[in-house]
A = this chain, B = another copy of it.
Amino acid sequence: MATLQDITVSAAINLLSAFAFLVAFAILRLQPINDRVFFPKWYRKGIRSSPTRSGAFVSKFFNLDWRTYIKFLNWMPAALRMPEPELIDHAGLDSVVYIRIYLLGLKITVPLAVLAFSVLVPVNWTGGTLEHIRNLTFSDIDKLSISNIPDGSKRLWAHITMSYVFTPWTFYVLYTEYKAVAAMRLRFLASENRRPDQFTVLVRNVPPDPDESVSEHVEHFFCVNHPDHYLTHQVVYNANKLATLVAKKTSLQNWYTYYHNKYERTSKRPTKKTGFCGLLGSKVDAIDYYSSEIQKLSEAEAAEREKVINDPKAIVPAAFVSFKSRWAAAVCAQTQLCRNPTIWLTEWAPEPRDVYWNNLAIPYFELSVRRLLMAVALFFLIFFSMIPIAFVQSLANIEGIEKVLPFLKPIIEVKSFKSVIQGFLPGIVLKIFLIILPIILMTMSKVEGFSSLSSLDRRSAGKYHLFILVNVFLGSIITGTAFQQLKSFLDQPPTEIPKTIGVSIPMKATFFITYVMVDGWAGIAAEILRLVPLVIFHLKNTFLVKTEQDREQAMDPGCLDFATSEPRIQFYILLGLVYSAITPVLLPFIIIFFAFAYLVFRHQVINVYDQRYESGASFWPDVHRRLIIGLIISQLLLMGLLSTKKIDKSTIALLPLPILTIWFHRYCKGRFESAFVKFPLQDAMIKDTLEHATEPNLNLKTYLKDAYIHPVFKGTDFDRPQLICEEEDNPLVPTKRTSKQNSEAGSTSGS
């Protein structure tokens, strides 16, 4: 068990390394050559352009002005300066609400820490159990924790009382935050410009019809059932193969550019081998090879494009149906259309960027089976994943490698090398698993058949949260694999489980303090440094970039990785809630994490990230629910711990807390959740009326015409089937809009 001094040293080391990261960041970001790595968002917005400052050639790449280095931390106040409404305009609601989660962590933990340090720490410190026990090693941290209080002491009522302060405080913070986010979402949706998804509903599981094509069937169905409101629709093509071809072509084009640039620099025709990874096969002229490959692929692509557009079988039984008003779209998205609730399924269309095209055509029964299989798979992933990893780890030792790759034997047998392998390989195997875990989870969510990127992210986050809860939180407290835990939990009474875990909680405080510093602090510092995008950008910049436009494409601003970051925040909040009444010393470390992360992510959101989609903070109900789960876990563990402390009626005294928490969750759900899943008719009507008054001549049909075509068709002009009630049901006077105006409207609405 670490002493207070150990922790102080560890904290100092971690603070120093975080500081080193910050200094590195401060220096790197000031170099003009890195400008596009650290400020890509401004480039994307067209506000910032490559530095063209006159002066020495070297100053184009390196910042020689020493004065700017003095103020190397001035990005911090700068990050805080932009007010929230402007930030929503600048980065979208998703990002703003995401960084509010860190703020929420602060709002919850800071008052908890203040109260805990002023009440519980003195109570614990003077408890004096540990001083009497001589044969046990204990640290100063344990003296500040509940462990220092003798069993059955009346002092424990202080902890029970405080948990009755902590819980309402958390309720208050959660309630106001949910309310604020719901209001922000509604205001955001109301203030938004015209967007195609406001008028559009995604219709899935269109039943097959022997006499009509999917397009005609959709048209007829909506002409009958929404006669006054139906405007137009867009069928969905199964363009997955085409998309693969296009992606392959882009990759080939990159190689072509690379070799072409090489040729221009060296004036020597570069060659390459055609076989596996350019290592085997016959040598050919690289430029000729790639240009002919591109040529072939272009032809294949054109043929496939032709096929997709003309083959009725390439149309999947789904469509984007647009209405004449937001009111009608809101109505259609919220109501059931057909007797059979598994066909003609309607839901709000995700915004065009957010559509996950591959999943639009899954029948109801298949979807249901997929979800079952993925639930079972998730169970096995969470509870059994450690078993194959341990197996691979056991293989990944010296003997295993020597057997599989005998030619490496002489290298491995070098002594110093051997010990490194033996020491690191198992850790590396685990690390690799943890890196590919989010990819596995995302794949599972894709198999589950969700139809928008935002919902895929949300589902993956849910899975990752479960994984962290079981394998990181419980796994750190109780030894053994998750499956062994599960087995031991099933074999002991349910009242014993909180006790078993609760008892270990205070002993693990130092471990979690170290974890917060290493995983939290260092992780955030690494986040701001953007080492991987930095390297990739410079590689691309050196080998591929020729024009300004190429450089534009070489930037990889990245985006907030909701699916992995959010569950981590939840984990830290859970730690804060659990330890607030048990070992409050942990809280300052978490507070530093939240404050630092808030700063860093605010900076990143302002300067770097470019979101792939905008869902209007529709993830908030999930965030809220997981916080409630954390709160209930903390209450149950406190109950378990106190019941082992032999204090009378502690369980009954604490029992109302989880019940109240569940009720609070249900109340909030009823009160706010619908803001995230439905769109009130009142708001739709207000926006419709306003638009009708300000733009009476708007031709909505033209506006919506190509909003929902598959991205591979973007920019091409393809023949669309003639609409049936073209002339009769369009009461709007079409105005002449140039295509430039149209595309402008599209880009505004898409931002």
Encoded as 1 (CB less than 8 Å from any B CB) or 0, chain A from 502 to 523 comes to 0000000000000000000000
- Closest residue on chain B to residue A674 by CB atoms: B341
If A228-B228, A364-B670, A368-B663 touch, whether A682 touches B338 (CB-CB below 8 Å) is yes
Question: Which of B334, B341, B670 meets A368, CB within 8 Å?
Answer: B670
Please give the distance in Å from A340's CB to the nearest CB on chain B: 8
Please give the distance in Å from A496's CB to the nearest CB on chain B: 8
Chain B residues, Cβ within 8 Å of A489: 494
Question: Which of B342, B364, B675 meets A341, CB within 8 Å?
Answer: B675
Chain B residues, Cβ within 8 Å of A368: 663, 666-667, 670
Question: Which of B228, B493, B670 meets A342, CB within 8 Å?
Answer: B670
A680 located at the interface, meaning its Cβ lies under 8 Å from any Cβ of chain B in the complex: yes
A492 located at the interface, meaning its Cβ lies under 8 Å from any Cβ of chain B in the complex: yes
Chain B residues, Cβ within 8 Å of A495: 490-491
If A342-B670, A493-B493 touch, whether A336 touches B334 (CB-CB below 8 Å) is yes
Instruction: Please determine whether B680 and A336 come into contact, CB atoms closer than 8 angstroms.
Output: yes
**Residues from 200 to 256 in A contacting B, C-beta threshold 8 Å:** 224-226, 228
**Residues from 317 to 347 in A contacting B, C-beta threshold 8 Å:** 330-331, 334-339, 341-342, 344
Instruction: Please determine whether B682 and A339 come into contact, CB atoms closer than 8 angstroms.
Output: yes
Please give the distance in Å from A402's CB to the nearest CB on chain B: 38
- Closest residue on chain B to residue A190 by CB atoms: B339
Instruction: Please determine whether A225 and B681 come into contact, CB atoms closer than 8 angstroms.
Output: yes
A671 located at the interface, meaning its Cβ lies under 8 Å from any Cβ of chain B in the complex: yes
A564 to B490, CA, bound (A): 36
Encoded as 1 (CB less than 8 Å from any B CB) or 0, chain A from 438 to 476 comes to 000000000000000000000000000000000000000
Question: Which of B339, B493, B671 meets A491, CB within 8 Å?
Answer: B493
- Closest residue on chain B to residue A379 by CB atoms: B659
Encoded as 1 (CB less than 8 Å from any B CB) or 0, chain A from 668 to 682 comes to 001111110011111
A376 located at the interface, meaning its Cβ lies under 8 Å from any Cβ of chain B in the complex: yes
A496 to B489, CA, bound (A): 12
A342 to B666, CA, bound (A): 13
A22 located at the interface, meaning its Cβ lies under 8 Å from any Cβ of chain B in the complex: no
A489 to B228, CA, bound (A): 60
A673 to B493, CA, bound (A): 36
A670 to B493, CA, bound (A): 35
Encoded as 1 (CB less than 8 Å from any B CB) or 0, chain A from 341 to 359 comes to 1101000000000000000
Instruction: Please determine whether B338 and A680 come into contact, CB atoms closer than 8 angstroms.
Output: yes
Please give the distance in Å from A336's CB to the nearest CB on chain B: 4
Instruction: Please determine whether B670 and A341 come into contact, CB atoms closer than 8 angstroms.
Output: yes
Chain B residues, Cβ within 8 Å of A341: 670-675, 678, 680
Give the interface SS of chain A, mostly helix, strand, loop or mixed: helix
Instruction: Please determine whether A334 and B335 come into contact, CB atoms closer than 8 angstroms.
Output: yes
**Residues from 663 to 717 in A contacting B, C-beta threshold 8 Å:** 663, 666-667, 670-675, 678-683, 685
A342 to B670, CA, bound (A): 8
If A341-B672, A368-B670, A666-B368 touch, whether A681 touches B493 (CB-CB below 8 Å) is no
Please give the distance in Å from A671's CB to the nearest CB on chain B: 6
A372 located at the interface, meaning its Cβ lies under 8 Å from any Cβ of chain B in the complex: yes
Please give the distance in Å from A224's CB to the nearest CB on chain B: 7
Instruction: Please determine whether A674 and B364 come into contact, CB atoms closer than 8 angstroms.
Output: no
- Closest residue on chain B to residue A331 by CB atoms: B331
A87 located at the interface, meaning its Cβ lies under 8 Å from any Cβ of chain B in the complex: no
A186 located at the interface, meaning its Cβ lies under 8 Å from any Cβ of chain B in the complex: yes
Please give the distance in Å from A334's CB to the nearest CB on chain B: 4
Instruction: Please determine whether A342 and B491 come into contact, CB atoms closer than 8 angstroms.
Output: no
A228 to B325, CA, bound (A): 13
Please give the distance in Å from A306's CB to the nearest CB on chain B: 37
Chain B residues, Cβ within 8 Å of A331: 331, 335
A341 to B621, CA, bound (A): 15
Instruction: Please determine whether A685 and B225 come into contact, CB atoms closer than 8 angstroms.
Output: yes
- Closest residue on chain B to residue A333 by CB atoms: B335
Instruction: Please determine whether B364 and A224 come into contact, CB atoms closer than 8 angstroms.
Output: no
- Closest residue on chain B to residue A689 by CB atoms: B224
Chain B residues, Cβ within 8 Å of A685: 224-225
Instruction: Please determine whether B337 and A334 come into contact, CB atoms closer than 8 angstroms.
Output: no
- Closest residue on chain B to residue A336 by CB atoms: B678
A489 to B678, CA, bound (A): 42
Instruction: Please determine whether A342 and B671 come into contact, CB atoms closer than 8 angstroms.
Output: yes
Which of A339, A368, A495, A667 has its CB near the most chain B CB atoms (within 10 A)? Answer: A339
Chain B residues, Cβ within 8 Å of A672: 341
Instruction: Please determine whether A339 and B683 come into contact, CB atoms closer than 8 angstroms.
Output: yes
Chain B residues, Cβ within 8 Å of A681: 225-226, 335-337
Please give the distance in Å from A13's CB to the nearest CB on chain B: 44
A674 to B339, CA, bound (A): 9
Encoded as 1 (CB less than 8 Å from any B CB) or 0, chain A from 628 to 657 comes to 000000000000000000000000000000
Chain B residues, Cβ within 8 Å of A224: 685
Instruction: Please determine whether B682 and A225 come into contact, CB atoms closer than 8 angstroms.
Output: yes
Chain B residues, Cβ within 8 Å of A674: 336, 341
- Closest residue on chain B to residue A671 by CB atoms: B342
Question: Which of B186, B330, B337, B372 meets A339, CB within 8 Å?
Answer: B186
Question: Which of B337, B493, B680 meets A490, CB within 8 Å?
Answer: B493
23 cross-chain CB contacts under 8 A: A335-B335, A335-B678, A336-B678, A336-B680, A337-B680, A337-B682, A338-B680, A339-B680, A339-B683, A341-B670, A341-B671, A341-B673, A341-B675, A342-B670, A342-B671, A344-B682, A364-B670, A364-B671, A368-B663, A368-B667, A372-B659, A493-B493, A493-B494
In the A-B complex, the 3 residue pairs with the closest CB atoms:
A341-B674, A336-B678, A334-B335
Q: A336-B681, A368-B666, A493-B496 are in contact. List 14 more A-B contacts (CB 8 A).
A: A224-B685, A225-B682, A330-B335, A331-B331, A334-B335, A335-B681, A336-B674, A339-B683, A341-B670, A341-B674, A342-B670, A342-B671, A364-B670, A490-B493
